[in-house]
Chains A and B, each alone.
Chain A
Amino acid sequence: MGQEEIRGLLPVLELYLSNPLVIMMLEILLIFIKVVVVTLVVFSLPLPLTYMERKVAGHIQVRLGPMRVGPHGILQPLADMIKLFFKEDIIPSKADPWLFRIAPVISMVPVFAVFATIPFGDKITIPFINYEVSMYISDMNVGILYVLAIAGLSVYGIILGGWASNSKYALLGGLRSSAQMISYELALSFACIGVVMIVNSLSLVDIVKAQSGWHWNIFYQPVGFVIFFIAGLAEINRIPFDLPEDEGTLGAGYHSEYSSMRFAFFMLTEYVAMVSMSILAVLLFFGGWNGPSFLPGIIWFVIKVVLCIYFFMWTRFTFPRYRYDQLMSIGWKVLLPLSLLNILITGLIII
């Protein structure tokens, strides 16, 4: 088809696009496409992230990390995936078979559901047909509350997985993680309240828009960010707060009895949770997709998120693990009062 013919088709297309029924169908189709794209991207993210994590670990510990499969070991995640696929899926004979099977799925669903409200950028206009497409699936007016509430649900998978395995290590891991996640969820939410008070909106899109022009919240809420980051580390069960899977005392914790793809689902959940926590940190404190205009917003967004993920990995290979009673006293006696004080001071300054 020549250039002329495309030009000739455009008015017909515009006529179609002004029909309300067509617009509605298009919007439904668009939401569907967005959901599929986001899910696929998020689903495949753990592959580069495991590679990145092992390389970061290697270089921090003055070794090379994976080197054998492909140039600089770049195909290592694929090899791991194939290995996990072909392993035997063992269900312990004394386990509760139904819950044991469904627990990895229960832990995986919430971390994906979180992405329904996460904005990756502002609206963009498709050239030629002047159709506006937003870079988020939905702009919920209670966005941040939704993200925090749904992210908190993934603890169910961990608890149920630990309980259904019918093994004492797994059960202890599940118990530890439920206590830990409830305790740190409070501090995490309170740290977000400071940001909400400044921005005066619960919508994630509004929060990012309020930070345009270098008015990043980290400059106004440094204490809030520190609390958010520490509580976030505990929420996604990473060192120094990875007590639920403390290999020194619990074997592998809640996923001790899991193998093959079910184990892979738990790993996937952990990596996706890390990504969503980094995205939340970027949206709340680092201005989301705002940045100097020589790069498009989405690129800035990805750069910030990757830096944040790198920071999470860096802490993993730098800090030792806390003891369990220390973990609880940090959460309740340090982070919670600090976050309340932060809210109080923010409120006083705003008034």
Chain B
Amino acid sequence: MAEQIFFFIFAVLAVGSAIAVVSFKNPVYSVLSLMVCFLQMAALFVMLRSPFLAVVQVFVYVGAVLVLFLFVIMMLDIRKARMDQFITGGNFWAIGLLGILIIEMILIISKSRLTSITVSSELRLDGGVREIGEALFTKYILPFEIVSFILLVALMGAIVLGRKELR
């Protein structure tokens, strides 16, 4: 019971802050809302009995990725950036797409078996760290390596783009 109350608090806050991300005019406020959203998602991971994923979420997304977002946004000219909102008025394509997405979501949710929000009460005393590590390095080793290779290529691309022109 208490768990469901907490679930609703986190879920509502997560959705609310996600809406705030796209509706704030000031990009710094958007990043802050995104931070709130990610923290709520970390809390949801805790409720799914996976504290390790929750902490990694905070570590990687809130602690590093969003700080870099802020870093870049602070370099922008805010008054100019305010002009480009995410949702501009009269964009019918976006509204149509939104409608399709909503219908799709309703269909998926109504067809799936995942409508109950009760979670298994099985407590993982080691935080699932061992299981995640074993799964990553045995069963899913190929996808894991491919993802890390893609990340490496992206990193190289960023360095090439960011480098000053050599004469």
Which A residues between 134 and 166 are near B, CB-CB below 8 angstroms?
Answer: 140-142, 145-146, 148-150, 152-153, 155-156, 159-160, 163
Nearest opposing residue in chain B for A99, CB measure = B28
Binds A, one of B49-57, B86-94, B154-162: B49-57
Q: Is B64 an interface residue (CB 8 A)?
A: yes
CB distance from A228 to the nearest CB of B (A): 17
Question: Which A residues lie within 8 Å of B11 (CB)?
Answer: none
Let me know if A159 and B127 touch, CB within 8 A. Answer: no
B35 touches A (CB below 8 Å): yes
Does the CB pair B74–A163 fall under 8 Å?
Answer: yes
| In contact, A185 and B63 (Cβ under 8 angstroms) | yes
- Dominant secondary structure at the B interface: helix
> In the complex the two chains form, what is the Cα distance from A137 to B62 in whole Å?
24
Q: Using A149-B58, A150-B58 as known contacts, say yes or no to A156 and B67 having CB atoms under 8 A apart.
A: yes
Task: Tell me which residues across on chain A come within 8 A of B126, comparing CB atoms.
Answer: 141
Interface status of A174 (Cβ within 8 A of chain B): yes
Task: Tell which of A140, A146, A148 has the most Cβ of chain B within 10 Å.
Answer: A146
A163→B28 contact, CB < 8 A: yes
Chain A residues, Cβ within 8 Å of B67: 155-156, 159, 178, 181-182
Whether A243 is near chain B, meaning CB under 8 Å from some CB there, is: no
Known: A175-B74, A178-B71. A145 touches B64 (CB 8 A): no
Main secondary structure of the interface of A (DSSP, over half): helix
0/1 string, B16-54, CB within 8 A of A gives 1: 000000000000110010010000000000000001100
Instruction: Report how far A132 CA is from B51 CA in the complex, Å.
Output: 26
Is A204 an interface residue when CB atoms closer than 8 A count as contact? no
In the assembly, what is the distance between CA of A163 and CA of B74, in Å?
7
Task: Return B24 CB to nearest CB of chain A, in Å.
Answer: 12
Q: Is A179 close to B, CB under 8 A?
A: yes
| Interface size of B in residues (CB-CB distance below 8 Å) | 22
Known interface pairs A99-B28, A152-B63, A156-B67. Does A142 touch B52 (Cβ–Cβ under 8 Å)? yes
Docked complex Cα distance between A339 and B129 (Å): 22
A185-B64, A202-B129 given; A156·B59 CB < 8 A? no
Nearest-neighbour CB distance to chain A for B27, whole angstroms, equals 11
Q: Is B125 an interface residue when CB atoms closer than 8 A count as contact?
A: yes
**Within the complex, what minimum Cβ distance (angstroms) separates A198 from chain B?**
16
- Minimal beta-carbon separation of B77 from chain A (angstroms): 13
**Cα of A93 to Cα of B106 in the assembled complex, Å:** 48
Is B68's beta carbon under 8 Å from chain A?
A: yes
Q: Does B13 contact A (CB under 8 A)?
A: no
B70 touches A159 (CB 8 A): yes
| Contact bitstring B115-151, A, C-beta under 8 A = 1, else 0 | 0000000000111010000000000000000000000
Assuming the A-B contacts A141-B125, A156-B35, A163-B28, are A146 and B55 also in contact, with contact meaning beta carbons closer than 8 angstroms in the complex?
yes
B125 to chain A: closest residue by CB: A141
A282 within 8 A of partner (CB): no
Complex CA–CA separation, A160 to B32 (angstroms): 10
Q: Is the CB of A182 within 8 A of B68?
A: yes
Closest 3 CB pairs of A and B: A152-B63, A149-B59, A141-B127
> 5 interchain pairs (CB within 8 A)?
A99-B29, A145-B56, A153-B58, A159-B70, A182-B64
Known: A149-B62, A152-B64, A159-B70. 17 other contacts (CB 8 A): A140-B51, A140-B127, A141-B51, A141-B127, A141-B129, A142-B129, A145-B56, A145-B59, A146-B55, A148-B59, A150-B58, A155-B63, A156-B35, A156-B67, A178-B71, A179-B71, A182-B67
Chain B interfacial positions (CB closer than 8 Å to A):
28-29, 32, 35, 51-52, 55-56, 58-59, 62-64, 67-68, 70-71, 74, 125-127, 129
**Which A positions have Cβ atoms within 8 angstroms of B?**
96, 99, 140-142, 145-146, 148-150, 152-153, 155-156, 159-160, 163, 171, 174-175, 178-179, 181-182, 185, 202
